[in-house]
Structure 1
Amino acid sequence: MTQAPLSHLKVVETASFVSGPYCGKLLADFGADVIKVERPGTGDVARHRGPYLDDGPDPEASGLYLYLNTNKRGVTLDLATPQGQDLFRELIADADVLIDDHRPGELAALGLDLDTLRGLNPGLVVTSITPFGQTGPWADYQADYLTTFHASGQGYLLPMNSPDRSRPPVRGAGYLGEYDAAVTAAIATLSALFWRGRGGTGQHVDVSTQHAVMHLEKSQLRRYIDDGIPADRTGMGRLLETLVRGKDGQYVLIILSSQIQWNGLFEAMGRPGWAANPPFDTQAGRSAHYEELRAHLQAWADQYDAEEIFHRIQAARSASAPVYDAAHFVTSPQVGYRNYLVDFEHPVAGVIRHPGRPYDFSNVAWQGTRPAPLLGQHNDEVLGDGLGRDAADLTKLREAGVI
């Protein structure tokens, strides 16, 4: 079997919760040896967030933690201690990447500043993920996923096309913005590694979560720059899409944003007379009579289940999508055919089914190699075998609370 594309890389991750760990997970899925560094005793913040297996709070059975940390090795280090800092420097000495989510200046205060780390390892790529980046007037501000999502402008746009035009902005589901920042960080890290491989040096990748989230809606920002008018969060005056509800109670998204999409929808509906005549025979007319258009579309949808609506529109070469909940997604034949869900056997949580990778390589058969590590699970392997500490040394370090 051909080796995974990043199997030659060593990544040290000193990050918690979502964005840093998910960035590390993405690299681990590419085959990198990702060593996760956690604080002794408490570990990653995600260990203390649900959902939990059987609803029993257990830092080894948090669904969030278990998903975000597959395919990694885990060690514990107290970076506030001189011994912990020394061990960390040893880990970094031959690493390719450091993923860090500490506040600006926090590692420097521990003697682990960029110059020190780069002095130990000139080829090191340091990827820092913080709410607002390492520079600027907000660099030192504390923030959580709710803060950065709204500071990005994304929250203002939701709920897009809401029928309740007085509804306040809402946050994206789950930790959406944190995942956006992680994907941005992973792409930037790979770019830095590519440049290093072309004869460059290591470098610092400074990721702003605020900017990463806004980057996905930059078209809205461009409209303001071009026109001086903020995007209309209710969708008024813009014919984009609508939801219809099938007779089974499930929803389907229908795209209305172009004449081409309308042509396919018109065929899928059986070329109804109302759709062939004014005002619905032009894009401008449909936009001006949007609420009446929605009523016609819903009357048609009332005849069919959601899956049938979806397949009818797709068969007419127009865009639509079923609005799946988790149960429908898991049982979807498309998901099953591509083997997207992968089982991991965890020593505490048991067999857990996780989302796998959203891509396949033609020459690398991928499978999950490790469940998320227990707290300090690989101390002996990484710090003992890897850094040359014997059993007596490790015992002393545990007793001192360093690991």
Structure 2
Amino acid sequence: MATVSELGNGALAELTVLDLSHYVAGAYCGKLLAAFGAEVIKIEAPGVGDGARQVGPFPDRSPDPEASALYLYLNTGKKGLTLDLASEGGAAILKELVTQADVLIENFAPGIMESMGLDYATLSAINPRLVMASISNFGQSGPYRDYRADTMVEMALSGQMYVNGDPEREPLSSTGYQPSYQSALYAYSGIMAALIARDRDDRGQYLDVSIQEAMASEHQFTLNGFTASGKIRMRSGNRYGSVHPTTILPCKADDNGKPGLVSLGISDPTQYVLFLQLLDMSELLGDPKFANPQMCAVNYRDFDALISSWFMDHTAEEIVNALQDNRIPAAFVNEVSDVLDDPQYEFRGFWKEIDHPVAGSHRYAGLPYHLTEAPPVYERANLLGEHTDEVLREKLGYDSDRLGQLREGGVI
């Protein structure tokens, strides 16, 4: 096992990680570690695998557990090992692997690892330097510990849902698996902190990560604002609320007939003055209703009505270019296809072309930071059990007879 300060081909090249995750939260955490060179061993149930393998979309709309877009994205750079953890033999093999591991990640429901004899108390007795991270909906303790949840529940109970959406409508959730991704980022940073502490203290730690708490920590100043003033921040739709114009406005369709949308983020008084000058509407500054971004926010409906004709006379490209040329925050509202063709991403090499033996070649998102000396490594996701024999031979010294017995018994 390595200290976190030892470097190989990647910043984390000497680390071995056992990834027992399923679906999103734990898997994304493992993906981040793999991107910086850690040896991440994805452990899945024999014949079944991670449930994310059943989630589409799939190439050519043909379901295939080896070609799930979700699984392929979340598990880049990992080795694949199949192991029946619920069996006595499978649990014993995991414990053997733990002796050589630096990190273990799991996101089972609380109590599952303990029921298999694989809780932190047991595993840390085998390897006191092990850093173990458990990600769950509400953490390993508390009255909600055993509640069932998904994105809708996590968004609702964290308070995030209440502040999203139009004030005249019901609250809105985020799309996709944002709570799981957020908790994975916190788990990743917690693991790195624990590894640095291990370099000093020569012992591992247990990380208890709550998805609910991860989302509650992302409230910006909403919670602090309430404790300071007693005021509950209400939904403000596509507006910031306290300043304007921070919103999305329609504009002239482009030459292909595509309806135009522009996102504005004008909160600074200087930018506000420049914006009105550009629209040749500086006289509005003399109206108390529109004297500054704060007053404009109070009277946003009247303001939007006054500037709408200018927007409808210009395309999104014309508007964004004109505003950005004058250092005024504005942007296109990109569809996914627009994001893939965006020249900024292209210039920085954000998209990575990765080939997979079943799914084929596809573009994947890279990481949003560049390291000059130890850049991220981007490799394809594993096939189910692809490296089982390799891992058990190299790490535990199993021979062909032993592997055959384990396979025949359904352990691997």
Residue 88 in structure 1 maps to residue 94 in structure 2: yes
Amino acid at match of 1:211: E
Give yes or no for the alignment of 1:252 onto 2:262.
yes
What is the alpha-carbon root mean square deviation over aligned residues?
1.8
Contact 1:244 1:297 in 2 (8 A): no
Corresponding residue for 1:188? 190
Distance in 2 (alpha carbons) for counterparts of 1:298 and 1:122:
65
Q: 2:243 is aligned with what amino acid? A: L
Please give the alpha-carbon distance, in whole angstroms, between the structure 2 residues aligned to 1:45 and 1:296.
Answer: 52
Distance 1:179 1:284 in 2: 34
2:27 maps to which of 21, 24, 27: 21
Shift of 1:394: 1.2
Q: Any idea what SS the aligned residue of 2:221 has?
A: helix
Figure out how many residues of one structure are paired with residues of the other and give that number.
397
Structure 2 counterparts to residues 193-212 of structure 1, below 5 A? 193-212=195-214
Picking from 119, 122, 132, the partner of 1:126 is 132
Matched, 1:157 2:163: yes
The partner residue of 1:137 within 127, 140, 143 is 143
For residues 356 and 284 of structure 1, do their structure 2 counterparts lie closer, same or farther at Cα, with a shift above 3 Å needed? Answer: closer
Q: CA deviation at 1:245?
A: 2.1
Contact 1:274 1:280 in 2 (8 A): no
Pick the aligned partner of 2:108 from 77, 80, 102.
102
For residues 240-288 of structure 1, give each alpha carbon's deviation from its aligned partner in whole angstroms, at most 9, with x where no partner exists. Answer: 5111223132322112333233134234x24424433303222343123
Flag the 1:284–1:65 CA change in 2: closer, same or farther, 3 A.
closer
Report if aligned partners of 2:273, 2:282 keep a CA contact under 8 Å in 1: no
Percent identity reads 39
Q: Which moved more, 1:247-256 or 1:258-267?
A: 258-267
Aligned residues of 1:103 and 1:140 also touching (Cα < 8 A): yes
Question: Contact 1:2/1:363 (CA < 8 Å) preserved in 2?
Answer: no
Q: Name the counterpart of 2:411.
A: 402
User: In the aligned structure 2, how far is the partner of 1:297 from the partner of 1:367?
Assistant: 48
Structure 2 residue matching 1:233: 3-state secondary structure: coil
The aligned residue for residue 242 of structure 1 is 247
Question: 1:177-197 deviations in whole A, cap 9, x for unaligned?
Answer: 111111111111111111112
Alpha-carbon distance, 1:105 to partner: 1.7
Partner of 1:178: 180
Instruction: Go from structure 1 to structure 2 and tell me whether the alpha carbon gap of 1:80 and 1:284 turns closer, same or farther (over 3 Å shift).
Output: closer
One-letter identity of the residue aligned with 1:383: L
Preserved contact between residue 129 and residue 206 of structure 1 (Cα < 8 Å): yes
CA distance in 2, matches of 1:263, 1:87: 67
The 10-residue stretch of structure 1 (231-240 or 111-120) with the greater mean CA deviation from structure 2 = 231-240
**1:136–1:393 CA distance, 2 compared to 1 (3 A):** same
Q: Is the 8 A contact 1:251 1:322 kept in 2?
A: yes
Instruction: Pick one of 339, 342, 367 that aligns with 1:329.
Output: 339
Q: Residues 264 and 184 (structure 1 numbering): CA distance in 2 closer, same or farther, change over 3 Å?
A: farther
| Unaligned segments of structure 2, at least 5 residues | 1-6, 254-258
Match of 1:320 in 2: 330
Residues 284 and 326 of structure 1, relative CA distance in 2, 3 Å threshold: closer
Cα 1:297/1:12, change in 2 over 3 Å: farther
Aligned match of 1:344 in 325, 340, 354?
354
Amino acid at match of 2:248: L
Q: Distance in 1 between matches of 2:122 and 2:409?
A: 25
Compared CA separation, residues 2 and 136, structure 1 to 2 (3 A): closer
| 2:274–2:328 CA contact under 8 A, matched in 1 | yes
Q: CA separation in 1, counterparts of 2:223 and 2:271? A: 26
CA contact (8 A) 2:36 2:375 kept: no
Offset at residue 61 of structure 1 (A): 0.7
1:221 to 220, 223, 230: 223
* In 2, Cα distance between equivalents of 1:289 and 1:166: 17
Is residue 242–residue 294 contact of structure 1 (8 Å, CA) maintained in 2?
no
- What is the alpha-carbon distance in structure 1 between the residues aligned to residue 291 and residue 232 of structure 2? 30
Counterpart of 2:368 in structure 1 is 358
Per the alignment, in what secondary structure is the counterpart of residue 147 of structure 1?
A: helix
Give the whole-Å Cα distance in 1 for the aligned partners of 2:260 and 2:140.
45
Give yes or no for the alignment of 1:115 onto 2:121. yes
Q: What amino acid maps onto 2:297 in structure 1?
A: S
- How far did 1:344 drift? 1.3
1:384 maps to what in 2? 393
